[in-house]
A and B are shown apart, each in its own frame.
Chain A
C-alpha cells in the first residue's frame, strides 16, 4: 500500500483583475506565510519546494532563479515545473513517497495583469514551423474544438452558455472571485463570437493571485493542527500537441489523468465523488471535462445535466461551486491550485454560504489552455485512503 500523503496547510490570495500594489515576490511571500501558518510549520522545516511557472508569462527567462527567497527555500532542494499547480501536487507526492522529503511546499501564482499582450504571448505557443506562419489567434483552436465537440456530443451552444451563467452566479458567494456577475443567458448569447461558435463571454478572464500548498507524509500530517486532507489520487497526462493529429472532440488528457487518479483512490464510479472543480477556461470545456471524468454514459447528458441544474450547488453533482475560472478568474499556472483551494474549504466545512451539505471527497481537474492538451487531476478526501 502506498504511503498516505495529505495537504496539511494552504495559503491563498483573493483573485483580482490587477494587483498593482505588490510585486510577485510580495504576493508569494504573503501567501507562503499564510500556508505555513495554516500548516503550523516553519519554513526551515520544509524539505523541498516546487514552483509552477512559465517564463513567457513571467516576462523573465529562467524564472526559477527568482523562486526561492520569498518561500524560505534558499539553499534547499527547490525546482520549477513548467506545468499547472496540480502537476506540482503530484510532484510533491512522488518526492515524499520516494523517501527524500517529508514536507514539500508547492507554489503557483499569476501576475497576468503584467502581461500587456497575452494573445501575442500565446501565439508563441503555436508550432513555429507548421502553425504560427498561418497567423491565426490561438483562441480559434478553441472555436474549432468547440464546433467539433458540439457536433459529436449533441450538446448545444445554449447549454454551454448556461455554464457561464451558473459559474458567474456561483462566484457571487465566493469572496475570492474577481468576476462575480448576475449574468443571464441572454447576455451570454448576445455576446459577439470570438471564434465561431465560441462567444467572448464564454472565455474566462485572467486574474492575479497566488496559492501555496503544504504537502506532508502521514507522520507529519497526524501532528498538524489544521485538519489534514488526504490525497487519495493524482494523475497527469498529455495528448497530442500537434493540431493535425489530435482528437478534437474528447479531452483525452482529462480522461487519462482521471483514470490514474480513480485507480489510486480505489474509486470505481465517479459518483463516489461528492463534488467537482474542473477547468472552465472556455464554457464548453467544463462540459467536455465532466464527460472525460466519466460522469455521464452519453455525452449529450452533460448538456441536459446543466439545463436540469444537476451541477448547481444544490444539484446531485455540484461542479465549480467556487465559480470556476469563469467566475473567479483564470490564474495562469495557479488555476489548478484555485480548484484545490475550493476542495480544501469545502472538505473542511469552511466554504461559507456555498458550503455543500455533503463534502467528503472532492476532485480538482486542470487544463493548460490552448494550444495544449495537458492536464492533471487531484482527488482529496476527509478520510485517509483505505488499506
Chain B
C-alpha cells in the first residue's frame, strides 16, 4: 500500500528506574545515542527526529518537546513531538513511518522519554488533570479507580476470575528477570500477587505497573538506506491507530473496539488476514495485568473473553505457541509511559533479529505486533514488524 518500504535499523534504551539522577534531556540522549550506535549511522545522517512523550505535567516542563529537542539530537533538524497519551510510544513509530514513507525524509530517529519521578510526591496527582474539568474532576477520580471499573466489567462480562488475571503479573515479572534494563523483575506466585494490598478492588498492587524514569529510541530508514547499513533490517509492515470518544462513560468497557480498529488498519497494511496464525510474537500494552488479556483480544490474538484461558494453558509463555510480552512488559521492565511503548518496539526488533539473549523466544519468529493504549481508555496504537519486506 505504501509507496516506500521502511525498516528499523537500530534500537536502544536506558535502564528503567525509580528516580533517575539524569535530567530528562540526558535520558533522551542516552537512548538516542545507543540507538544511533546500534544503527551505525551518525547523527548528521539523520534527516528528521520524532519525539514521543506523555503529559508535560510529569517532567514539569511546558512545551516539553522544545526543551527535549537537543537531548533527542534534533539540533537544526526537522523535529516534532506526537502525542496520543499512553499510546504515544507505539504511535511515534507510525508517525516516523509515514514521514519516511512519504519520501520527505530517508532516515528518522524516534525517541521516547518520560521522567515521572519529578512529579512529587507521586505522579498520580498529575493524572487528576486528565479528566474533564467540569463533569469529572470534581469527583476527584484516579486512574486506579477507572481501571478497576474496566477490569470489573471485563471480568463480569466473560466470567473471569482475579486469579486468572494475576497470572499475567507472574509471567511478565518473571520474564523481566532476564531484561537488563528492568525495574521490577521478580519471581512470584499467583498467591503472592493476590496477597498484595488491594489498591481499588479488583486491582492488587502487584497487578499495577510502577512509575518510572527512562527513555527508548529506534532509528528507521527507507529501503535504500536500510539495505546499505544492515543485513538484517526489521521491516515496518503495518501501522494503525484509532482514537475513540472522550466520553468513556458511554463505552462498553468489556472490549476495546478502538484497539481492534487500529489492529485491522495495521494488519491490512501488512497483508495479515489471520492474525492468530500469522503473528509469531506479541507485545501488547500491560500497565495493568488485565490489560494484556484485554488487548490480546482487541488485537484478534484471542477470542473475546478467552485470553485468560489461553494464558493458563501456557500459550503466552516465552516458549509457548504465541509468546506474549517476552520483554517483561510494563509490569516487569517498568512504565515510563511513552518510553514503555517504545521499549516494546525495541523488544520486537531484538527478538526478530535473534538478539534478545536470555529473552529470545525459540523458533526464529518472523513477524511480531506491538501495541499501546492510553488516554481515557480510548486510544489503540499498533505496529506490525517482520523479517520479510512487505508487499
CB distance A372 to B66 under 8 Å?
yes
- Check A223 for interface membership: any CB of B closer than 8 A: no
Contacts of A96 in B (CB 8 A): 102
Q: Which of B62, B69, B101, B243 contacts A124 (CB 8 A)?
A: B62
Q: Which of A56, A60, A99 contacts B101 (CB 8 A)?
A: A99
Bound Cα distance from A92 to B59, whole angstroms: 28
Q: Annotate B219-255 by CB proximity to A: 1 below 8 A, 0 otherwise.
A: 0000000000000000000011111111100000000
Of B146-154, B340-348, B352-360, B371-379, the stretch lying at the interface with chain A is B371-379
- Check B80 for interface membership: any CB of A closer than 8 A: yes
Contacts of A94 in B (CB 8 A): 98-99, 102, 104
Q: Annotate A76-94 by CB proximity to B: 1 below 8 A, 0 otherwise.
A: 1111111100010001011
Q: Annotate A344-387 by CB proximity to B: 1 below 8 A, 0 otherwise.
A: 00000000000000000000000010011110000000000000
Provided the pairs A82-B81, A238-B79 are in contact, do residues A61 and B242 lie with their beta carbons within 8 angstroms? no
Provided the pairs A61-B55, A98-B98 are in contact, do residues A81 and B104 lie with their beta carbons within 8 angstroms? no
- Check B139 for interface membership: any CB of A closer than 8 A: no
CB distance B81 to A81 under 8 Å?
yes
Of A36-44, A64-72, A150-158, A197-205, the stretch lying at the interface with chain B is A64-72
Q: Which of A75, A81, A123, A260 contacts B82 (CB 8 A)?
A: A81
CB distance A79 to B241 under 8 Å?
yes
* B83 to chain A: closest residue by CB: A80
CB distance B70 to A2 under 8 Å?
no
Q: Annotate B64-97 by CB proximity to A: 1 below 8 A, 0 otherwise.
A: 1111111000111111111111000001000101
CB distance A79 to B76 under 8 Å?
no
CB distance B130 to A65 under 8 Å?
yes
CB distance A241 to B83 under 8 Å?
no
* B58 to chain A: closest residue by CB: A61
CB distance B56 to A55 under 8 Å?
yes
- Check A239 for interface membership: any CB of B closer than 8 A: yes
- Majority SS at the chain B contact face: mixed
Provided the pairs A64-B83, A65-B85, A94-B104 are in contact, do residues A54 and B63 lie with their beta carbons within 8 angstroms? yes
Q: Annotate B248-282 by CB proximity to A: 1 below 8 A, 0 otherwise.
A: 00000000011001100100010000000000000
- Check B38 for interface membership: any CB of A closer than 8 A: no
CB distance B57 to A55 under 8 Å?
yes
CB distance A75 to B376 under 8 Å?
no
* B265 to chain A: closest residue by CB: A77
CB distance A241 to B62 under 8 Å?
no
- Check B103 for interface membership: any CB of A closer than 8 A: yes
CB distance A83 to B70 under 8 Å?
no
A255 to chain B, nearest CB (A): 10
- Check A186 for interface membership: any CB of B closer than 8 A: no
Provided the pairs A68-B244, A78-B243 are in contact, do residues A124 and B76 lie with their beta carbons within 8 angstroms? no
- Check B23 for interface membership: any CB of A closer than 8 A: yes
B113 to chain A, nearest CB (A): 13
Q: Annotate A90-120 by CB proximity to B: 1 below 8 A, 0 otherwise.
A: 0101111111100000000000000000000
Contacts of A127 in B (CB 8 A): 67
- Check B306 for interface membership: any CB of A closer than 8 A: no
Contacts of B56 in A (CB 8 A): 54-56, 61, 82, 124
Q: Which of B241, B257, B258, B374 has the most CB of A within 10 A?
A: B241
- Check B195 for interface membership: any CB of A closer than 8 A: no
Bound Cα distance from A208 to B83, whole angstroms: 23
Provided the pairs A55-B57, A77-B242, A99-B1 are in contact, do residues A65 and B80 lie with their beta carbons within 8 angstroms? no
- Check A185 for interface membership: any CB of B closer than 8 A: no
B51 to chain A, nearest CB (A): 9
A260 to chain B, nearest CB (A): 7
Bound Cα distance from A97 to B100, whole angstroms: 10
Q: Annotate B1-45 by CB proximity to A: 1 below 8 A, 0 otherwise.
A: 111100000000000000000010000000000000000000000
- Check A73 for interface membership: any CB of B closer than 8 A: yes
- Check B133 for interface membership: any CB of A closer than 8 A: yes
- Check B188 for interface membership: any CB of A closer than 8 A: no
B96 to chain A, nearest CB (A): 10
CB distance B133 to A68 under 8 Å?
no
Contacts of B76 in A (CB 8 A): 237-240, 252, 256
A168 to chain B, nearest CB (A): 27
Provided the pairs A62-B375, A80-B83, A80-B84 are in contact, do residues A241 and B67 lie with their beta carbons within 8 angstroms? yes
Contacts of B63 in A (CB 8 A): 54, 56, 82, 125, 368, 372
A119 to chain B, nearest CB (A): 11
Contacts of A239 in B (CB 8 A): 75-76
CB distance B246 to A60 under 8 Å?
no
CB distance A65 to B376 under 8 Å?
yes
Bound Cα distance from A260 to B132, whole angstroms: 40
CB distance A65 to B82 under 8 Å?
no
B116 to chain A, nearest CB (A): 12
CB distance B66 to A368 under 8 Å?
yes
Bound Cα distance from A123 to B67, whole angstroms: 12
A142 to chain B, nearest CB (A): 15
Q: Which of A55, A75, A81, A99 contacts B244 (CB 8 A)?
A: A75
- Check B312 for interface membership: any CB of A closer than 8 A: no
* B239 to chain A: closest residue by CB: A100
- Check A236 for interface membership: any CB of B closer than 8 A: yes
Bound Cα distance from A96 to B98, whole angstroms: 9
Bound Cα distance from A130 to B210, whole angstroms: 29
Contacts of B258 in A (CB 8 A): 75
Bound Cα distance from A256 to B83, whole angstroms: 24
Provided the pairs A65-B85, A98-B101 are in contact, do residues A76 and B242 lie with their beta carbons within 8 angstroms? yes
- Check B60 for interface membership: any CB of A closer than 8 A: yes
Known: A55-B57, A79-B91, A100-B2. 17 other contacts (CB 8 A): A54-B62, A55-B55, A61-B56, A62-B375, A75-B243, A77-B241, A97-B101, A98-B4, A99-B101, A100-B1, A125-B63, A128-B23, A238-B79, A241-B70, A368-B63, A368-B66, A374-B79
What are 12 A-B contacts with C-beta separation under 8 Å? A55-B57, A62-B375, A65-B378, A77-B240, A77-B243, A82-B65, A94-B98, A97-B3, A238-B69, A241-B67, A256-B78, A260-B78
Interface, chain B (partner A; CB < 8 A): 1-4, 23, 54-57, 59-70, 74-85, 91, 95, 97-99, 101-104, 118, 126-127, 129-130, 132-133, 239-247, 257-258, 261-262, 265, 269, 374-376, 378-379
Interface, chain A (partner B; CB < 8 A): 2, 54-56, 59-62, 64-69, 73-83, 87, 91, 93-100, 121-125, 127-129, 235-242, 252, 256, 260, 368, 371-374
Q: Which 5 pairs between the two chains have the least Cβ-Cβ distance?
A: A97-B102, A98-B101, A124-B62, A98-B98, A94-B102
